[in-house]
Structure 1
């Protein structure tokens, strides 16, 4: 006859409950502030119906922990401070996440589909011998997720039977969670031996602008090869400032050296879904459309009436951009001055 103590059964039951209701979100932060896509990832985590735990790692985590403790739906925050976490390098964070997973046995581990998440999640997935699930756009249930493939031209519904799901979340498809009303508890993350001989953090240079950040802006104005030079982007800057919009660019404009690559919108750039997207001098290659076609209203300005961008545009203007954009800027300026 099998003899198992009641306390042992209770421990096993608690372990199963914990296993079934546990999601970890890896918080991304920079310069003492939470990166907005973390809040989108929290919303996705809440849709799984599990308890949500955040992992905040870095050198000075107190302000980040204090801010995220108020996030709606977050139950617990695990904090880890170590000089090795400076710059949030994936080689340093992976051992921490593996040790955390070993102790808490999460069913899902999420991060935003930013450069940070795309570097980290596949590495952790490889160490756990599971398949990462990249850039989900919606959640069907705890095992079924939706994502785009073929540069956004097809939608895939994926079911994962892995014991732990490693997921990156496309921020534009999930609303940011509220940072009010929450009261998450804090505890130290599990300690681990961190050995990172592969990479080291040197420095970062942050570009500052009074315009909204590209991935979170409600209005975006993007330029393409049709602008002919970087100097001509000042037409877009003037127009964007009038409507308080962020400025983006197509890959063709970036490759031509008109603007820096952090302005690139598209499959290999940033994914945006603003209320208004204005495409100026952009032909509409599928790689670019993959990064902006979820925008609520798309306006296209191109002198070629056969440009593919008009197939997805809500409003199309066949005109010379060097005449149309200054005229639009002037009319908006005249309207605002009334």
Structure 2
């Protein structure tokens, strides 16, 4: 049977996390269908059709689907599910909101946050904040799966030539709707897609110090700015910049942790980074145990020096 991947988008652009979900799906089979559910989203469907490995794009359009509300999307996936062996979504805020609802309605167990495909019914996923890896096998006829996107390379956005098929949308009254949305705008790359991430922790002391030290270094490197949960809770940085088990999972080519002690919660969100650099004046900080390069120094002296050197 075919495999259905839920596509995330803003009705204009297909999101990069979807390409990583497709990459995971390709390891399960060759007949990959991509579901584009939205409104006035034909452009997204055309982008989806060009993704390498996708054989068909399912396009569902309705005003109720303009925003990714799980209550509106779930009936559509439930309607399509009998034709598929696997339902897959990226383990993003949207995917984590949508697929559990679908799995419960279909009376099937969800397999969450997989990092490796062993076979069509067996997967690996992290547990205990990533300190152990569980190998999970499902005997359900339908597998409902979310994919940790930092564990998979993105499928090629071009090279495919999938057909586009329109489907009708189940019409029903739902009790939830989006009445407003505030999106943070930044010239920096999006946190989960950035090649370089510079994160600051509670040792920065204030939001002013975060802006004065972390932002300029991230800009000098052409990277994204992140923060530990402690820094976010203290109001130094916005919630959408939080890296960690309860924030965003990142795996950039370079991760720079500044004034971050290295709590398990934070390590779970960044320890798969290719190269980790830690700057902390406490030489016993746990962050040094996972760092490839460590600098024991006062961040208020070291970071400005590094930023200045990069500028020249």
Fold in common (TM above 0.5): yes
1:41 aligns with one of 21, 39, 44: 21
2:274 maps to what in 1?
296
The Cα of 1:34 is off from its aligned counterpart by 1.1
1:83 aligns with one of 47, 60, 63: 63
- Deviating above 6 A after TM superposition, structure 1's stretches of 4 or more consecutive aligned residues are none
Whole-angstrom CA distance in 2 between matches of 1:157 and 1:180: 33
- Contact 2:243–2:270 at 8 Å: present in 1 too? yes
Q: Which has the larger radius of gyration?
A: 1
2:223 aligns with one of 245, 255, 266: 245
Whole-angstrom CA distance in 2 between matches of 1:112 and 1:192: 23
3-state DSSP of counterpart to 1:167: strand
Superposition TM-score, scaled by structure 2 size = 0.98
2:46 maps to what in 1?
66
1:8 maps to what in 2?
none
The Cα of 1:192 is off from its aligned counterpart by 2.1
Whole-angstrom CA distance in 1 between matches of 2:179 and 2:309: 47
Whole-angstrom CA distance in 1 between matches of 2:242 and 2:234: 12
2:191 maps to what in 1?
214
- Contact 2:38–2:63 at 8 Å: present in 1 too? yes
In structure 1, the gaps of 5 or more residues are 1-20
In structure 2, the gaps of 5 or more residues are none
1:57 aligns with one of 37, 49, 53: 37
3-state DSSP of counterpart to 2:88: strand
Which is further off, 204-213 or 63-72? Answer: 204-213
Whole-angstrom CA distance in 1 between matches of 2:222 and 2:11: 24
Question: What CA deviation, in whole Å up to 9, does each residue of 1:173-226 have, x standing for no partner?
Answer: 111111211111111124423321x21111211211111110011100000000
3-state DSSP of counterpart to 1:77: strand
Whole-angstrom CA distance in 1 between matches of 2:235 and 2:208: 11
Q: How many residues get paired?
A: 311
Question: What CA deviation, in whole Å up to 9, does each residue of 1:224-266 have, x standing for no partner?
Answer: 0000000001211111111111000000000001111000000
3-state DSSP of counterpart to 1:162: coil
1:145 aligns with one of 111, 114, 123: 123
